[in-house]
Chains A and B, each alone.
Chain A
């Protein structure tokens, strides 16, 4: 025999809930930001879009190996003057003369911003850009070429009011203009 359920009090719970809702209606305690007009100023290493330093990178492919969703592709490059790399197609006819190397490119559609690649890189070649919210309008924009990847997306909300969050005993969280 199944256990007999005690009937719940059908009245007080409803009244309590309605009273609480009404209290919040007359004394709203807003916690969200007026988003595109105000944006959070985030700490400098907050995980967002990042780019690679073409000169620093040694092409070891550690980042490609560690990336959990396999968002990184290593593209073939050749070393040019001053440590900068050139596209592999521009290699001189004399194949021996070209010093071959590889450079990482991130597919933003796959990247989960875990920053494993940044941590694993032996020469600290990755550099966070401080840009976090970007909307891509076409599928193509998700998959930059290496040259595009060197210039990561710009912050679309540069002109919005920057705020920082602060713990507040009474309200939970409050915002004040960023210093």
Chain B
């Protein structure tokens, strides 16, 4: 069941609360689920449960590469590890370990990367991954997900545990605009149409879902009809959904809190180029490093607002 309840308002639940309740719930439901963190349990609300369950929650200290390796060793023993660090560290700080010890050696693990892109706000440029999806997309057989809201986070975590391969899930710790009614299930790999439209389609992920919906509402007043599709599974991309909407609208925009290279924009472009070519514009970071600031400052600074989405839609329609 998926029920879309978007009205622009924030979901009252923080994603770190969802992580803090879902990880213990998964571990309690399945004795093979094991959670590893790298000195960031307090950041996702798992510290208290972790302290009470030292056999189920392993604090590896500030040693992400080692943590991935340990998780892979556990996977070879039949465990289903869920590992966490900030997105910057759970991608680039341990990528060779994720690539070889997990991917190549076929030790299946779920990797959580919190505070993707501009949601890293006050931690600044060193902590602001605009490249994490690009890295994990390049890992053969991987699944790459950019979470839309707390409800989706819960659903995705439940599915990841038993999914083969390396699963990378990026999610902000704060809240998101509520898109799905609590209890909705969002099957990995299936795009979700949030809004129908005929002039253009916006494929969006993560915080850009809200911006895309706002842009679509504003454009409607200008007489432009825009579809918005939640492409939360960036890999494997839903090829049918991309082609279906490219065909229906003839104009595509991608919107992602990530570098324009290697993430959603690349994934959608690859499908369009090979299967159903139509004009495409992107709303993404223009190959820059991050910097410090509030999220609203950073969204403006890196061109990740509803206005930028609207502008891209107008532009892509003009190219039809």
Query: Is the pairing of A and B real?
Result: no
Q: Which chain B residues have a beta carbon within 8 Å of chain A's beta carbons?
A: none
